[in-house]
Amino acid sequence: MTEPAVVLVDYGAGNLRSVENALRAVGARVTVTHEPEAIRGARRIVVPGQGSMPACAEAMRRSGAADALVEALGRGALLLGICVGLQILFEEGDEGGGARGLGLVPGRVTRLPDGVKLPHIGWSPVRAAGAPHPLFAPLDGQYVYFAHSYAAPADAKGVDLVAIHGRPYCAALATEGIFAVQFHPEKSQRVGLALLDRFVKL
């Protein structure tokens, strides 16, 4: 049986090694690249999450990865964005005094409220919003690992899972071939590996 192929986007700040290792652990053949041609031709793409939304979005635009990603999605590719990889999908965000995202999902990513510890680091439960995509349905009620200070709104387009830290926010979304999670599946042990396994088999 052929290993499912995944392109892991290297935009210069991502948590590449742990995501790469987790994808390999579930049987994926992983190509780590920032080359637009490789991204443009991919069937499954993962954008990992580390660093800031402004730096990530700008690095992807500068390298040509952002345009290649949009083209790939237009041809039917599947995308999994992780943490900042979810945030950059939105139109804009508040981090760093204001950031322009890739505009693939309408809305704004905002800072979690004062009065709770930030960054939010650690395990929190996620809950289904409506009838989630089969990729995310098994996560309803599960604990996953977060590390963030900013989050997308709980009523964003395609929201499938929500979490609460000071306010409800989008923990996962699915819309038109785009899948994204605010948490880190590569750090969420069995539950996270199961999610990655489902993604590479889509």
Q: What amino acid is encoded at 70 in this protein? A: V
Strands 168-175 and 159-164: antiparallel
- The alpha carbons of the chain give a radius of gyration, in whole angstroms, of 15
E strands, the chain, where?
5-9, 29-33, 44-47, 78-82, 90-93, 99-100, 105-111, 120-125, 127-128, 143-148, 150-151, 159-164, 168-175, 178-181
Q: Catalytic amino acids?
A: 83, 184, 186
